[in-house]
Amino acid sequence: MIIVKEAASRPVESPALEGMFEARKKVFVDLLKWDLPVLNGRFEADQFDDIHARYLIVADNYGTHLGSARLLSTVRPHILDSLFPDLCAGPVPSGPDVHEITRFCLGRDQTAAQRRATRNHLVSALVSDALARGVTTYTGVAELSWLQQILAFGWRCRPLGLPRRTDSGTLGALAIEIDGDTPSLLAANGIWTEQTQSGSPLLEAA
């Protein structure tokens, strides 16, 4: 597997990004029935997909999208503070060392075992990226079943308030603390994956 990091403002700036935005449409619009913008009938992209967004994309050796996540700075408008601040019992966490994970997406054309491997690779990449960039906290909004999975990964993770019913399902907000112990905590639960595989290094594209 290869992990590609990219920042872009349009869905078709690279094959990896094109596959990511197509997969997001299949997951969030077609499967989950979220009311989200769709470009050209193929791509899910919203107002947060701008030049300030960053993406972590897990792709195979042919560049096919397997999984991805979008990272948003919390010193700018982001999903939790702009759309769901009421999911937090207190102030919405923000700051230069706090980033928001959004659009965590696993491609549907994988077996259950493959999706689990992709999930683990993507979670591990998010932690590695945070440690490299000085990010100490991730926040996020998740549907209840996915929220429960995230809480069970073994890292230091806490709800920010009570879940509530919305048009997109029952959603909750959470905060994940990232530090040098996080990889070992994930490893203890079988989540952590080293960031090289079959001689393929962690790739970065601007």
CATH tag, 2-204: 3.40.630.30
pTM: 0.90
Please report which confidence band the pLDDT of residue 142 belongs to, taking 50, 70 and 90 as the band edges. Answer: very high
Looking at the predicted structure, is the pLDDT value of residue 10 above 50? Answer: yes
120-136 tens-digit pLDDT: 999 999 999 999 999 99
pLDDT digits (tens, 9 = 90+) for 70-91: 999 999 999 999 999 999 999 9
Query: Cβ(1)–Cβ(195) under 8 Å?
Result: no
- Check whether 206 has a pLDDT greater than 50: no
